Amino acid sequence: MIYLNAFLLGGFICLLGEIILDNTKLTPGHITSIFTVLGALLSFLNIYPMLIEKSGAGATMMISNFGNLLYEGAITGYKNMGIIGLASGLLTKCSLAITSAVIFAFIFALIMKPKD
């Protein structure tokens, strides 16, 4: 059942992105930012952890999970070190994702031929 829930949630998030992209003048960058902020907001409202529990990878593979990770890292840092930890803990949970994105982008930039 978790596979079906993951497929449905992931598909729904992608569907929302496509609907927004097709019916507004927003760019993909704007939509990505909206989903990141929405993920942080849902995490603040304690809804996103329930989505992760119900659908697993359907919620953790989306860009909205990046907002969730930013929020969780900031709150953990704040609880451990106070206001300084708020900024330092912000990127602790998602540092692996950011690092791997930079490394893979570099590798693909070496392999692929850019269009003129």
Give the number of other CB atoms < 10 A from CB of residue 113: 5
Choice between 19 and 84, residue whose per-residue pLDDT is larger: 19
The type of residue at 110 is: L
User: What percentage of the chain reaches a pLDDT higher than 90?
Assistant: 64
Contacts of 43 (CB under 8 A, 6+ apart): 49, 67, 68, 71, 72
Give the pLDDT score at 116. 62
Residue 84 parent element (H or E): helix 83-88
Residue 58: pLDDT band with limits 50, 70, 90: confident
Give the closest residue to 68 by CA, choosing from 91, 40, 94, 92: 40
Answer left, alpha or beta for residue 82, where phi above 0 means left and psi between -120 and 50 means alpha.
Answer: left
List Cα–Cα distances, 39 to 59, 81, 104, in angstroms.
10, 24, 24
pTM over the 0.75 mark: yes
- Residue whose token pair is 């992105």: 17
